[in-house]
Amino acid sequence: MNSRAMSFCRLGAVIMQPSTPTKGRDGLPPMLGTGAIVRRPVVVEVDGAETIAIRSMMYLALSYDHRIVDGREAVQFLVKIKEFIEDPAWLLIEG
């Protein structure tokens, strides 16, 4: 794919969890769908022990043409987006 374009779809506006955006025709750029940010109970590790805590959670869904983009690269992209969201301060670090 020569294009560096990407479409975004804010699925959280309609509170549909989870949901996946779909592409209308072949060759369109990937589409990233974002769900609503909601507070959910999750298991976290504190001082070596598991406990339940309330955390803000959001679903991300990526639709892409598997003939053009390999699944491995798509997952790596989603992992990087997750890292950006969880720790945006590192984007400000120069070098």
CATH number at residue 71: 3.30.559.10
Number of domains present in the structure of the chain: 1
- Is residue 18, in this structure, part of any structural domain at all? yes
Q: Is 65 a catalytic residue?
A: no
- What domain range is 41 assigned to? 7-92
Catalytic site residue 87? no
Kindly list the strands in the beta sheet with 7-10, ordered across the sheet, starting from the edge strand earlier in the chain.
7-10, 31-34, 60-63
- What is this structure's pTM? 0.67
From 26, 47, 65, 66, active-site residue: 66
Spatial CB neighbours of 76, under 8 Å, sequence gap ≥ 6: none
How confident is residue 1, by pLDDT bands cut at 50, 70 and 90?
very low
DSSP state of 68: T
Tokens of 92: 């400000």
What mean pLDDT is predicted for residues 5-17? 68
pLDDT of res. 53: 96
Q: How many C-beta neighbours within 10 Å does residue 35 have?
A: 20
Residue 26 lies in a domain: yes
Which two tokens mark 29?
């750029």
Among the listed residues 26, 47, 65, 70, the single catalytic one is 70
Percent of the chain, pLDDT > 90?
Answer: 22
